[in-house]
Amino acid sequence: MLTNLIRDNWGFVVSSITDAPRQFVAKTYFVNTDHGKFFCKVIDKKLFIPAVIKSLPTLKEIHYLGLDRINFPIPTVTNELSAIHDGSLIVLFNYIDAPQSYDYDNAELGKLLAEIHKLSQKVKAETQNETFMFKHADIFEERLASLAQLESIDVAEQSASKLLQRSYDDLITLYKIFQNLALTCQKKSWQMVLTHGDAPGNILVKSPDDFYIVDWDDILLAPAERDLWFLIDKDDFLEGYKLGRKDFVVNEVAAQYYLLSRYFNDLVEYWAEIFGESGEAHKASNFNEMKRELFEEDGWLYPQVKKFI
């Protein structure tokens, strides 16, 4: 099926399709064609499709402005940047011959992000603006309110419900802090720049100083802290960033907002997998990841948000 979709929409004759490393957002493939090799994303998760569609024109323009250390979408025969089939979004990207890795130079990443942020005023494509509004607020609040009423025979759903009930007070505390930070940010005037939102975790590395930022699924015009909070405690990263933006000063309120924004967005995205229509193994895997990353001391996000409790 994917072979025919690529032929019909991009005009490429496919010689082979192989699985690429699985992503949280998409099913991914390496595609060999008569026009070269490409990277294909197939996204069937409704939470993500709108943001990806809105990000593609901006990503295309960033590439056309001369930034070659990113991935970029390949236009279809009708000059669209994606195709839709049975509710799934299909996007072809240029192929980058490098593995995903964290083995990159922090200072070089800082310099590259500063270069991207400085391009912001040149991009003419309509880009979503940061509103400091939690887009999944209704889902989050409804899920917490209905925890006691959940009746399920699914083991992962039961486990998730019990974990959330045990953590209820902490979640409410964090959510109130998150809401207050959002209100503070909404009242402030910001210099907005083009942001990736998860750059440090989406890098293909050829060498520590030769790498590419990929998976631009949710581009926003936002404060730079949206891209910086991940490595804000790394002096070499900030020094590299300030080589490109010498007068930049980190706003701690924005950094805290984006930390908690990531926490609550990840929480809702895990819920969609655990309480959705997937099989038991998929649900169990997502529950275990959610528990480790968002509720345990050896996770990635929990130790960072615990300081607010």
pLDDT tens-digit map of 266-278: 999 999 999 988 8
Do 118 and 254 reside in the same domain of the chain? yes
Q: Is a pLDDT exceeding 80 seen at residue 207?
A: yes
Strand partners, 85: 88
Confidence at residue 144, expressed as pLDDT on a 0 to 100 scale: 84
Which residue is it, tokens 């607020």?
137
What mean pLDDT do residues 169-180 have?
Answer: 97
Confidence at residue 307, expressed as pLDDT on a 0 to 100 scale: 92
CATH assignment at residue 262: 3.90.1200
Q: How confident is the model at residue 78 (pLDDT cuts 50, 70, 90)?
A: very high
Average pLDDT over the chain reads 94
Is-contact 55 216, C-beta < 8 A? yes
Confidence at residue 302, expressed as pLDDT on a 0 to 100 scale: 96
101 falls within a domain = no
In 3D, which of 118, 40, 113 has the Cα closest to residue 82?
40
Q: Is a pLDDT exceeding 90 seen at residue 32?
A: yes
Which residue is it, tokens 């998929």?
282
Q: How confident is the model at residue 46 (pLDDT cuts 50, 70, 90)?
A: confident
7 falls within a domain = yes
Do 239 and 195 reside in the same domain of the chain? yes
Is-contact 111 44, C-beta < 8 A? no
148 falls within a domain = yes
In angstroms, rounded to a whole number, what is the distance separating the alpha carbons of residues 303 and 294?
8
The encoded tokens of residue 103 equal: 């083995």
Q: Is a pLDDT exceeding 80 seen at residue 299?
A: yes
pTM for the structure as a whole? 0.93
Under DSSP, the state recorded for 79 is: S
Domain that holds residue 43: 2-94
Q: Number of folded domains in the chain?
A: 2
